[in-house]
Amino acid sequence: MKRSKTSKGWMQEHMNDPWVQKARAEGLRSRAAYKLMEIDDKDHLLKPGMVVVDLGAAPGSWCQVAARRIQPGGLLLALDLLPVEPLPGVSFLQGDFRDDEVLAEFERLLDGRQVDLVLSDMAPNMSGVSVSDDGRMMHLAELALDFADKHLRPGGNMLIKLFQGAGFMDYRKAMQAMFASVASRKPEASRDRSAEVYLLGQRKSG
């Protein structure tokens, strides 16, 4: 099947993207690694010895960053519907976060530990229909917030990707009810035209 002009244009833009080229040169799995690096350099989220959960981990670029920064003594548990090639210091479970059985298995990996930091870069497969895409994105985000409510220790932090669309402000209010402070982050490695933004909740209430 021939590629459409749109897909060809996207691929050309992607290959010429300086962040993509930099990631390839530095052995990182995607440009998304630089988003987490920038936010962590600013907000100092990742520290040695932490228990960190990475939701929506594929292809593993956030894991590459986080696993290094929480050593020595850290534990990183990652989950995604897609496979992730093994990484040192990362325990990965492949499965659908929306599936109760998968979530229960992931919770068993925690083995009763409280989490210091929840990372979520999850996003649905995009249809191009904003109402549908926003709804599916918010569903994933709500599940991630519920996970944080159950497993994030008091004082812990959460960093999550969202789209600035329907439900965004309501979700931010829900985070504000759970965390002492909530801030928006738009790292340089995010494409300008992208509606994505990261919400950072700090110091979960007891």
Highest mean pLDDT among 7-11, 163-167, 182-186: 182-186
Give the pair of three-digit tokens for residue 192. Answer: 């300008």
pLDDT given for residue 130 in this prediction: 67
Using CA atoms, how far apart are residues 191 and 195, in angstroms rounded to an integer?
9
Radius of gyration of the chain (CA): 17
Q: What is the mean pLDDT of the chain?
A: 89
> Is 19 annotated among the ligand-binding residues?
no
pTM, two decimal places: 0.88
Judged against a pLDDT cut of 90, whether residue 6 lies above it is answered with no
Tokens matching residue 164: 């600035």
Of 32-36, 125-129, 167-171, which range is least confident?
Answer: 125-129
4 vs 27, more confident: 27
Residue numbers annotated as active site: 161
What's the mean pLDDT in 21-26? 86
Q: Which residue has the higher pLDDT, 23 or 72?
A: 72
SS3 23: helix
Q: Binding site annotation covers 62?
A: yes
What DSSP state is assigned to residue 188?
T
Q: Is pLDDT of 50 > 90?
A: yes
Q: Are 50 and 116 in contact (CB under 8 A)?
A: yes
96 in a known ligand binding site: yes
Tell me the C-alpha to C-alpha distance, in Å, between residue 131 and each of 125, 126, 165, 166, 195: 13, 11, 8, 7, 13
Q: In the predicted model, is pLDDT for residue 59 greater than 90?
A: yes
pLDDT for position 129: 61
Structure tokens at 25: 């040169």
Let me know if domain 30-204 sits in CATH 1.10.3980.10. no
Give residue-wise pLDDT tens across range 120-156. Answer: 999 877 666 666 677 888 999 999 999 999 999 999 9
